[in-house]
Amino acid sequence: MATELQKPHLFVDSGNLLFKQAHIDTGPSQELLTAAGIIKIYRTMQVDAVAVAPFDLASGLELLTTSQQQGFPWLSANLIDEHGRPLFQPSLIKTIGTIKVGIIGLTGPVSLLPANVTLVDWRTVLPALIAKNSPQSDMLILLSSLSAAENLEIARQFPSLHLILAADLQGGNMIPHQENNTMITQTASQGKYQGILTIDWNPSGKWGKANAEELTELRNRIGALDWQLQRMRKREDLQQPDYIEKIKLVEKDREMVLQQIATLEQALTSAPEGKHHLPCSLNHNFLALQISMPEAPKIKAIITDIKQQINILHSNRIRTETKTPLLGHNACQTCHPAQAAFWQKTRHAKAYQTLVDRNQALNLDCLPCHVTASPGLTLSKDELLSLPAALQAVGCESCHAGPGKSHAGNPKQFHMTRQVAKQICLSCHTEEQDPDFDYQKKIKLIACPAG
């Protein structure tokens, strides 16, 4: 979540940004190369603070501690070593324009930690950190991968905490919600969105709508009530007594709004110079990060380098073509020539080539959906990298629930699935990869001719 304060800005992240699962293999891997690249990208973007979250610890501590030594601003107040000392910096204070912003990091529950590392309860460390940072800060922010319930508990307990930026894996984009004097918000996971908060911060340190803005809304409300009353009074003589009572309720509502307007107008005319008594306000925006967006040259260069490192890593793993119960489209066309000829014209036939064209044919994140696979058949990383040419496309067995070897040997006894199950398509055409995918529409484009 990036946070913008007036003209200067603050770039912070609540964590869970490096890995997509809780544990990964140690040693050289595509996941580790990608995580190291993310850290490099964040440093290039001059990130101000990142909280250590559970998924950032998926490969252990070495990657994080090494990057911390190189200046990466990891924060965690509750990851403690065997001597009771925090492994990472618990908090820091950044000056943004004229505003001093205190930032605290908390790590959520971790399923596996080294023997000499302890995750302590936030209740043990947070009160002292807030007491220390609050007097030194105009604004206090918590970066938290705790649960939503725990974040609410913190907001209710510490009114001097102004903003909680969450990294709850169960949540997506969250419209800022005020609890006590704390705003709580978060973006969707794994960098799908950039969260932007534009904050009008005042010395009062109290959240609320700016008086002038609220005054405009109340005046608009009076206009709506006047229009409503005008329509109701036109039909007054036709209505029963209970309808007359409804009119009185609307009139009462109008009087209350007029009183609120008068109070606000008085506050605006009598407020002391400056903004010391005005509430703080914010606007939020979740910016979807789409492929069509222009790329920053420095970031693009880092991503290109990551892809090249992955290609080099995986090229050393390619071995003699792997043995698999899948046959590939060449075997199918012997008995199904019309269907095979039709398939050759579909985008499925060129799925692997699109990876080749983008220098991504060795990317294990992409390969499973660009080669011939089969529901229930799990291929290892080495097998995916070593598939024969006949399987380097989304072939017949991907959709018709192969493997097809048994069917080819005895088609009367072993039948392939004719109708492609929707779930098979959705396993690759996910919301993240293909947000506009329409099964009913797309299935017609790949439906083979009968016969």
Taking only the tens place, the pLDDT of each residue in 223-252 is 888 888 888 877 755 566 777 778 888 888
pLDDT computed for residue 185 by the predictor: 94
More reliable by pLDDT, 22 or 129: 129
Which pLDDT value is given to residue 276? 52
Q: How far is Cα 390 from Cα 408, in angstroms, rounded to an integer?
A: 15
Which range of 36-45, 289-298, 322-331 scores highest in mean pLDDT? It is: 36-45
pLDDT, one tens digit per residue, over 109-130 is: 998 888 899 999 999 999 999 9
DSSP 207: B
Say yes or no to pLDDT of 402 above 80.
Answer: no
- Check residue 5 and give its pLDDT: 41
Taking the CA atoms of 192, 198, 203 and 207 in sequence, report the sign of the dihedral they define. Answer: negative
Give the C-alpha separation, 109 to 100, whole Å: 30
pLDDT of residue 451: 67
Is the model's pLDDT at 203 over the cut of 90? no
Q: What is the pLDDT of residue 353?
A: 94
- Is 395 within 8 Å of 446 (Cβ atoms)? no
Rg (CA), the chain: 30
Q: Name the more confident of 376 and 343.
A: 343
- Mean pLDDT, the chain, whole residue set: 86
pLDDT at 422: 87
pLDDT (mean) for 101-110: 96
**What's the confidence (pLDDT) of residue 207?**
87
19 has a pLDDT exceeding 70: yes
CATH number of 2-208+279-288: 3.60.21.10
> If you average pLDDT over residues 48-71, what whole number do you get?
94
The residue ranges of every structural domain in the chain are 2-208+279-288, 211-270, 319-446
Q: Are 323 and 391 in contact (CB under 8 A)?
A: no
Q: Rounded to whole angstroms, how far apart are CA atoms 288 and 394?
A: 29
* More reliable by pLDDT, 384 or 155: 155
Average pLDDT on 147-155 reads 95
- Pick the range with the lowest mean pLDDT from 112-126, 148-162, 277-291, 382-396: 277-291
Q: Is 120 left (phi over 0), alpha (psi -120 to 50) or beta?
A: beta
Is the pLDDT reported for residue 2 higher than 50? no
pLDDT at 1 over 50: no
Task: Show the tokens assigned to 17.
Answer: 């940004």
Count of residues in the chain: 451
Interval 207-224: pLDDT, tens: 876 566 667 778 888 888
pLDDT of amino acid 238: 59
pLDDT band at 37 (very low <50, low <70, confident <90, very high): very high
On whether the CB atoms of residues 302 and 37 are closer than 8 A, the answer is yes
Q: pLDDT digit string (tens) for 351-383?
A: 999 999 988 999 988 998 999 887 667 777 888
Whether the per-residue pLDDT at 334 is higher than 60: the answer is: yes
pLDDT (tens digit, 9 = 90+) per residue, 249-259?
A: 888 888 888 98
Confidence category of residue 188, pLDDT binned at 50, 70, 90: confident
pTM, 2 dp: 0.75
Residue 139's nearest CA partner among 78, 98, 106, 89 is 98
Provide, rounded to the nearest whole percent, the portion of the chain with pLDDT above 90.
40
**Residue of 130, 124, 88, 275 lying closest to 199 (CA atoms):** 275
- What order do you get walking across the sheet with 281-288 strand by strand? 74-75, 49-51, 9-13, 2-5, 193-200, 281-288
pLDDT band of 302, cuts 50, 70, 90:
very high
Model confidence at 4, pLDDT cuts 50, 70, 90, reads very low
Binned at pLDDT 50, 70 and 90, residue 42 comes out as very high
